[in-house]
Chain A
Amino acid sequence: RKEVEQDPGPFNVPEGATVAFNCTYSNSASQSFFWYRQDCRKEPKLLMSVYSSGNEDGRFTAQLNRASQYISLLIRDSKLSDSATYLCVVIEDMRFGAGTRLTVKP
């Protein structure tokens, strides 16, 4: 089993839809996680952090399910500009998932 696993997608959704991605991790001692966004042929950029209490920033909500060892990213009211690949990372291990590709269509 990979240490950090993501559904590669692609997720194709219409504008305005709500979409959620999960990221599972194998190290039960992990405490801290980030979601990064990566546009095509660009570098990753931090989207939001995920700690025990979760995190919300506008249309984006990140949560941690420690019992099942996954984090989630929920995007509400999807915009065309949300089209990107979303990477999760376990901070303690500096391990990234392979990313989930999202395409938002008009």
Chain B
Amino acid sequence: NAGVTQTPKFQVLKTGQSMTLQCAQDMNHEYMSWYRQDPGMGLRLIHYSVGAGITDQGEVPNGYNVSRSTTEDFPLRLLSAAPSQTSVYFCASNQPGTYEQYFGPGTRLTVT
């Protein structure tokens, strides 16, 4: 099993550009989540999904969209990148009831 994979590993965007961060898992987990991690702030939940076709907002959803058309994939879209979105983005998955989240290796995004 590859676990949770994320692409790209690194990305530089200009303000106003859009892009999609990809996340996939092969563990057949129902739950998937997106976090951002900034220095001194810890991991903050952006969006999460409890199953295909179901998504919900987390603590910091503004500027991001998600969709969940399959169990395996949970892409995160930045519609119009801003410098405040410079961060490390982690995708995670888990089975309902276990709460142990498996994280992907992260995407380091810089917006100039």
A45 touching B42 by the CB < 8 A rule? no
Q: Which of B42, B105, B106 interacts with A98 by CB under 8 Å?
A: B42
User: Contacts A87-B42, A94-B45, A98-B42 given: A42-B33 contact, CB under 8 Å?
Assistant: no
A43 at the interface (CB under 8 A from B): yes
Residue of B with least CB distance to A99: B42
Asked if A98 and B100 make an inter-chain contact with CB atoms under 8 angstroms apart, the answer reads no
B90 touches A96 (CB 8 A): no
Closest chain A CB from B10 CB (angstroms): 11
Q: A94-B33, A94-B48, A94-B58 are in contact. Are A46 and B100 (CB under 8 A)?
A: yes
| A98-B90 in contact given A43-B103, A43-B105, A46-B100 (Cβ < 8 Å) | no
**B interface residues, tally (CB under 8 Å):** 19
The reply to whether the CB of A34 lies closer than 8 angstroms to some CB of chain B is yes
A44 touches B90 (CB 8 A): yes
- Among A42, A46, A87, A91, max chain B CB count under 10 A is at A46
Residue-wise, chain A 69-88 has the 8 Å CB interface mask toward B (1 for contact) of: 00000000000000000010
A contacts with B: majority SS: strand
A-side contacts of B48, CB under 8 Å: 94
By Cβ-Cβ distance, the 6 closest A-B pairs, closest first, are: A43-B103, A98-B42, A96-B43, A96-B42, A91-B99, A46-B100
Which of A's residues lie within 8 Å of B, judged by CB? 4, 6, 8, 32, 34, 42-46, 49, 87, 89, 91, 94-99
25 contacts between A and B (CB under 8 A): A4-B42, A8-B40, A32-B99, A34-B100, A42-B105, A42-B106, A43-B90, A43-B103, A43-B104, A43-B106, A44-B90, A44-B103, A46-B100, A49-B100, A87-B42, A91-B99, A94-B45, A94-B48, A94-B58, A96-B35, A96-B42, A96-B43, A96-B44, A97-B42, A98-B41
